[in-house]
Structures are given as C-alpha cells and as structure tokens.
C-alpha cells in the first residue's frame, strides 16, 4: 500500500514538473515572438542606412560575439560531437542563409499581401512535415486553428494594400524562404536531443557569418563603406542581434525541445499581430475594426492549434458527467 502511495506521489510530482516545463516553454515562445515582432520595426530603422545582406551579416557577427562572450565563461556552450558538424552546417544553410535570401528578394518582387500570406504558411507545412518525420500528432482541430490564423494574418496585411502584384521569380523566392524555414525546423529537432538551445543558436549564427561573408563582400561592401557607421543604424542593429538573433532563437529552440516543432511554429503567425500592435503605439497607426478582427482570428487560431482534442473531450466529459 505504501509503495503504491509513493508511486502515485512520484507520478504526480513528474506530472507537475512536466506541466511547469511546458508552461515555461509557452512563455519562452511568446517572448521569442515579441522580439521577432519588434524586428520589423528595427529593420525599418536599419534599412535607411544599410542593405539587407549587410544588416544580416553584422547582425550575425554581433549576436555570435555576444553569445560567446556571455555564455562561454558560464560553460553553457557545448562542444560539437563527432559527426554533428554537418547538421549544424545544414541548419545554417536553411536559416539564416537561404531563408533571408528568399525573404529579402521575395519582398522586392511580390506585394506585401501575398508575401505575408505565403510566409504565414510556414507553421502549416512545418506541422505536416513534423507529423511525417517525428510522428507528432496533428488533429483536424490543429489544422483548423492554423488555417484560421493564416486567414487572420491575410486580413491584417491586406488592409495595408489593395493590390496584388507578383512575379514568378518573387513567388519562387518566397517559396524558398518557406521551404528553408520548414527544413530548419525539421533538422534542428535532431540537434535538440543532444545540445542545449544556447549551443545550437551560437553555432548556427557563427557558421552563418561565413556563409554570408562572400555575399557581403561581393554585393554590399562598397555600399557599406559609402554609408559609414551611424549610431542611428547601429542601435537598432544591436537590438536585432541581441534580442532578435540571440534570445529569440534561444527561446524558440527551447520551446521546440519541450512542446514540439508544430506547436512552436504555430506561434509565428502572431508576429504580424505583434508588429501591428507595436506600430500602433510607436507610430500611431490606427487599428481598424477589420484589423482587430484579423487579430482575434490569429489569436483564436493559435488557441485551436494548441488543443489536444482527446484530452479536451475527456475534460468536457468529466465536467458534464462527473464520477
């Protein structure tokens, strides 16, 4: 009898620890989305001085220096195990290299509405691929939630522009960005079982520097020299590097470890919503009824995408027909 009581107590303790860990993961991914929501505001400031490749290149340098200087003395950066460097190189090819190339050139040739809609499909494709590769369960309710949030994003962004312009090249570049984000999420899952989030982010940012360096020196170096160094550009650039490329990725990777690829990526649909809210307070942009409706759809869709229908039915039944 005593052994059963102890086993029950141990089980309850493990359940509590697991739930607390999941709560921390959800808080972490929310902060990651807030930081990434701010990045569009910071990008606006930096792009007044530097091109996208220059911005990403220095963003990665600052982030890598910051993480190594802060985390290496604390012994938080793990050594890469034999045979794992190829996986770090692979995720670095997906993100930051291919994703930012696809997104940057896609935005140049495709209207903001269509760009946002295409990029917003990342969580849906990530959920489908994680179901295939990692057997993560995805229900009809989850798909409904992701779809609803995508529509909400489309409503928010479409209010900014009434026309749809696109080129085949631009759409292909945005598809490259989506595929890169999905590939990154899939392959990073393999590393999360062996490395902490700080190590993963530090290494993929550091490798990304060498991947972007040739592009910077070939295409942007002359423009960077002409622009020079300005505090107005470097303050938001520091924010991009430390918050957007360091802490946000650490929180995002930690959440993947705890709650899975699909559920973590579902939160990325909240980024345009967060950006719209920030823009309202910082720039005084009016939030119309249509945009507010879109925000509600995104939040509602995120809620639906997180529902475990089996547990939800059991909980409802326990309320309707308690023992």
User: Can you say whether the dihedral through the CA atoms of 226, 228, 230, 234 is positive or negative?
Assistant: positive
162 secondary structure, DSSP code: S
1 is a domain residue: no
Q: Are 271 and 123 in contact (CB under 8 A)?
A: no
Q: What is the pLDDT of residue 147?
A: 83
16 is a domain residue: no
How many whole angstroms separate alpha carbon 25 and alpha carbon 251?
8
22 is a domain residue: no
DSSP string of 44-71? HHHTTTS-HHHHHHHHHHHHHHHHHHHH
Q: What is the pLDDT of residue 218?
A: 94
102 is a domain residue: yes
Q: What is the pLDDT of residue 208?
A: 94
Secondary structure of 58-109 in HEC code, one letter for each residue = HHHHHHHHHHHHHHCCCCCCCCCCCCCHHHHHHHHHHHHHHHHHHHHHHHHH
Token output for 63 = 């982030």
Q: Which phi and psi angles does 184 have, rounded to 5°?
A: -60, -50
Count how many domains the chain has: 1
Q: Are 102 and 176 in contact (CB under 8 A)?
A: yes
Q: Are 111 and 165 in contact (CB under 8 A)?
A: yes
Q: Are 229 and 49 in contact (CB under 8 A)?
A: no
> Nearest CA to 150 among 188, 177, 123?
123
Structural domain boundaries, residue 120: 32-320
Q: What is the pLDDT of residue 167?
A: 73
How many whole angstroms separate alpha carbon 282 and alpha carbon 218?
36
DSSP string of 200-226? HHHHHHHHHHHHHHHHIIIIIHHHHHH
3 is a domain residue: no
Q: Are 120 and 150 in contact (CB under 8 A)?
A: yes
257 is a domain residue: yes
Span 257-304, pLDDT tens digits: 888 877 787 787 777 778 777 777 776 666 678 777 877 787 777 777
11 is a domain residue: no
Helix, strand or coil for residue 166? Answer: coil
17 is a domain residue: no
Q: Which residue numbers in the chain have pLDDT < 50?
A: 2, 5-6, 8-13, 16, 162-164, 312-313, 315-323
Q: What is the pLDDT of residue 89?
A: 94
What is each CA distance from 113 to 106, 150, 154, in whole angstroms? Answer: 12, 12, 7
Please list the alpha-helical segments (H only) found in 165-288.
Answer: 168-192, 197-215, 221-227, 231-239, 248-259, 261-266, 271-283
């Amino acid at each position: 009898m005593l052994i059963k009581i102890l086993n029950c107590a141990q089980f309850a303790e493990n359940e509590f620890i697991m739930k607390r860990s999941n709560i921390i993961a959800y808080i972490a991914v929310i902060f990651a989305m807030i930081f990434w929501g701010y990045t569009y505001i910071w990008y606006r400031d930096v792009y007044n001085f530097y091109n996208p490749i220059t911005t990403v290149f220095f963003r990665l340098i600052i982030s890598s220096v910051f993480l190594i200087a802060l985390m290496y003395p604390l012994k938080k950066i793990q050594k890469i195990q034999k045979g794992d460097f190829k996986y770090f190189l692979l995720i670095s090819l997906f993100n930051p290299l291919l994703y930012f190339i696809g997104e940057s050139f896609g935005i140049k040739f495709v209207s903001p509405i269509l760009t946002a809609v295409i990029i917003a499909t990342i969580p849906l494709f990530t959920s489908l691929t994680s179901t295939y590769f990692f057997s993560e369960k995805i229900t009809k309710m989850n798909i409904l939630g992701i779809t609803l949030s995508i529509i909400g994003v489309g409503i928010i962004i479409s209010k900014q522009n009434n026309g749809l312009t696109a080129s085949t090249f631009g759409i292909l570049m945005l598809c490259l960005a989506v595929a890169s984000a999905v590939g990154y999420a899939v392959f990073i899952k393999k590393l999360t079982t062996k490395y902490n989030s700080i190590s993963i982010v530090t290494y993929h940012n550091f490798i990304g520097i060498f991947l972007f360096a040739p592009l910077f020196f070939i295409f942007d170096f002359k423009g960077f020299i002409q622009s020079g160094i300005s505090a107005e550009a470097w303050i938001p650039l520091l924010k991009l590097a430390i918050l957007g490329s360091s802490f946000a990725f650490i929180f995002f990777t930690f959440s993947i470890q705890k709650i899975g690829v699909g559920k973590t990526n579902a939160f990325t649909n909240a980024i345009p919503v967060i950006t719209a809210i920030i823009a309202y307070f910082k720039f005084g942009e009016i939030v119309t009824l249509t945009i507010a409706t879109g925000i509600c759809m995104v939040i509602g869709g995120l809620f639906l995408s997180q529902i475990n229908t089996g547990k939800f039915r059991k909980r409802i039944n326990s309320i309707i027909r308690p023992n």
